[in-house]
Chain A
Amino acid sequence: MTKDYKQMWNNLDINLEAHDGLLAVLSDAYQNIYLSQHNRPEGMKYFDFVISEVHGLRIEEILEAKKERRKVIGTFCVYVPEEIILALDGVCIGLCAGADVGSDEAEKFIPRNTCALIKAFMGFKLAGLCPYIQTTDLIVGETTCDGKKKAYEIFDEITGGKMYVMEIPNMKGEDGRTLWRNEVKRFAKKLEAITGKMIALEKLNEASKIVNARRKALQRLSLLRSFEPSPISGLDALLINQVSFYDDPVRFTAKVSELCDELDERVKDGSGVSKKGIPRILVSGSPMAVPNWKLHAIIEGSGAAVVGEESCVGERNFGVILDDGFSSVEEGIEKIADRYMNIHCACFTPNDERLSDILDMAKRLKADGIIHYAIQFCTPYMLEAFKAKKALDNKGIPFLRIETDYSMEDMGQLKTRIEAFLEMIGKGVRV
């Protein structure tokens, strides 16, 4: 970090001692997992910098935005319509939920067998470790699973009433669509109320273009990973996707585009981050919030390449572009709602579209196998894994089902499973 942010953190009620510990662990992990990689693109330097300033410069920027009376909206889910937040000059931030911190604190409020992601967002807040949560004016939750739904009730008390929950329908029919359109309208009203502004058509257009541009940049990155050998590691691509949730969207898009220009050159030369012929793995399942790099680190450490993420931190976040040809705010909000209904989260039933997405991605990215990742106790994805396996078995695509959390205690078993899977898909790993 370039400067001393102690005063800023202190003002945000951060537990300075514990926070120093967290940053030290994060920095070590980053060194071991990221900076030790070979042949990284130059363009990753920006993202290394963003991570090194994850609780520093970016928080300072957000505090500056707050001085300009802009509202900070914290989110946990890709269903939260960012266009509406930006149209009202808000700052949209994906909150900290990817590390095993403050579990003991969290377990005072929620059961032990709750998924790691829920435990983490509770833990980050309770242990005073997430400056982002502290800067928020509103935290938007959503009813994507029972665990989150009930945890948000408790989180509302813990954060002094900052929670606002959007109801995500469970089925994709007409009733679901109507419910969701109404939810998006209700959200727009809520934001208008807290910002004291009305959504203007011009601003909504502009916001839609900003978010679409970011989606297109991430789509371009995804496309570049389909080349053999991939010009970028799965770890680096995962990081970029994680950063997309809290960086300034315009700057982020520019930086991803610059990186993609560099990757274009690599692809033209036929050069990549690893040698040709190593197994190509598509990861599918629960989201991996920063700094959850565990699975990618094991897979790539075992000599394979992760070429895609069918995940909310991945394709589900950028796969669908918004139809931004609208001529009134009402029409815009409906189109925005409809765009988000096209995300195929396992909270829906049935959700066969997700199976098609996995198959399409496997084909497009030339994946040799799928590793299905579910956070332990993440029932929707744990269950959908069985359907996914069947669908992939039918196509003859090798499939490995993993359930894990943020701890390191199962590293041995996971390595054995993943290496055995890589041996199985026939290209050999360690020998």
Chain B
Amino acid sequence: MDGNPFLTEEQKQRYQRQLSIPEISVDGQVRLRNARVMIVGLGGLGSVSSFYLAAAGVGCLRIVDHDTVGLNNLNRQILHSTLDLNRPKIESAAEKLQRLNPECLLEPVRARIGEDNGLDLAEGCDLVLDATDNPATRHVLNRISLARRIPLLYGGINGWNGTATTFVPGETGCFACLFPSKDLKTPATGVPALGAAAGVIGSIQSVEAVRILVGMKPALANRLVKFQGNSIQFRTVHVGRDPACAQCGPSGGD
């Protein structure tokens, strides 16, 4: 986007508390301003990550969701309110995000992401933030990430718990390395979900996105973090690339 290496007086004030973080400072803030992030899903996870990334000064958020706001969303999808019932989530989200940070360019897309439109939707994006609610869509995001060679920040929740990791094409394994099975299903009635668990995982994804955008190494590359909310514990598992992976291995599209 713009090559301006300076911040306005207003930006210096708005981002004052993060400009004093050494790894961010003015340089990182300008990087954030020049970044475009695609957030897929504006539910429990996307409510949190879109809000934090808009607040942090990410220049452009391409927010993608096909759904409307339902009453059973509101225990966890904190970007939407009771007044938003039946509105498209992208419309409700864009309104709140714009109000939070008028400088954030919002690119709302009302669509169900799939093989047919995914690659085009990610054009120009620096990373894909997964805020979806099913493994099948995550496999689509994985193929977009590999084809565009941009990081995919996976996050998911179930009940009290949540999981997150980062896939960087060429550096780490991919979603299909970890979850090659095509038989991953979520119940038709929806996965149980405590709002605050989505808050934890959405926040982890937001921290990771900021790290990557300001030029730091992804903290969750080759590392999967599992949050167990009913005992408030984090576990970390070292993960890696599967040389035999059908997606990113020699026989895949990489």
Partners in one complex: no
